[in-house]
Amino acid sequence: MSVPLVSVIIPARDESGNLPGLLDEIAAALAAIDHEVLVVDDASRDGSWAMLEARAAADDRLRPLRHAESAGQSTSVWQAAHQARGEWLATLDGDGQNDPADLPRLIERARQGDVTLVAGHRTTRRDDWLKRLSSKVANRVRSALLKDDTPDTGCGLKVIHRRAFLRLPYFNHMHRFLPALILSQGGRCVSLPVNHRPRGAGRSHYGLNNRLWAGLLDILGVMWLSHRSRLPAELTPLEREHHDTSSTQRDTP
């Protein structure tokens, strides 16, 4: 089996109404790019797993994974990244609000070789006022404290080098702090404007409490990690001379 360029990772919980259309859009958007799709069903109770099983039987690019009990978005992404085979990871939410048509542009920017992570920036939000408010407050607090130079860390649409992701420290909610974590490891991040769409079906699991207040301790932890990091640190290996022994061997009489 060939190694794909991109592994698309979708954490999803109770998104059976959104996933079929989203998977179709991903297939169309990445038709010219070698890819695989890993959907992590985070203990859905709405028939998502049965739908994924049926689709995977007809599409070998689709690799469903399942949690028997909900483990959360960060754990889903982290585990899928370890199962992924692609050089690059592309993440997007399972609710259909991220537009797969943006993926080729983010992937193309990532492959220019000067960045570790390309983050989407939802310049026009298609959410209700409470979700927009909670996201705006959370982004401003994170930006002020972490100085991650990323206007929209909450956007699920990101492209990140897989090896760089696997070097990051794991903790719950880490997906909200990927730019700051990458910067602390000596990487570089850029943001590109992306489309944002209304939720098609189901309901959001997030609000002000779990976007800001529950994340304050995580922010302090990321600040500590960034402060204690000493990366990048230039490391020079010893250069050894290699002799061509074939020319020094004596001819046998």
> What share of the chain has pLDDT > 90, as a percent?
63
The domain spans of the chain are: 6-229
Percentage of the chain beyond pLDDT 70 is 86
Identity (one letter) of the amino acid at 94?
G
Read off the pLDDT of residues 55-77 as tens digits, 9 standing for 90 and up: 999 999 999 999 999 999 999 99
**What is the spatial distance between Cα 131 and Cα 212, in angstroms, rounded to a whole number?**
11
Q: Is the pLDDT confidence value at 129 over 90?
A: no
Right CATH number for 6-229 from 2.60.40.10, 3.40.50.970, 3.90.550.10, 3.30.530.80?
Answer: 3.90.550.10
* Under 8 Å between Cβ of 219 and 140: no
Report the pLDDT averaged over residues 219-229. 83
Using an 8 Å Cβ cutoff, are 180 and 144 in contact?
A: no
Structure tokens, 145: 């404290």
- The pTM is what? 0.84
Q: For the chain, what is the mean pLDDT?
A: 87
Q: Which two tokens stand for residue 208?
A: 């002000």
Residue 12 phi, psi dihedral angles, 5° rounding: -145, 140
For 30-40, how does the pLDDT look when each residue is reduced to its tens digit (9 = 90+)? Answer: 999 999 999 99
| Cβ pair 90, 100 in contact under 8 A | no
Q: What pLDDT was estimated at residue 1?
A: 61
What pLDDT shows up at residue 206?
Answer: 55
- Respond yes or no on whether the N-terminal peptide bond of residue 232 is cis (omega within 30° of 0): yes
pLDDT at 128 > cutoff 70: no
What pLDDT is attached to residue 208? Answer: 53
The residues, ordered by sequence, that sit 6+ positions from 173 with a Cβ below 8 Å of its Cβ are 72, 73, 74, 214, 215, 218
Q: Which of the two residues, 124 and 11, has the higher pLDDT score?
A: 11
Output the pLDDT for position 13.
96
Q: State the helix-helix crossing angle for 129-146 and 216-228, rounded to 10 degrees.
A: 30
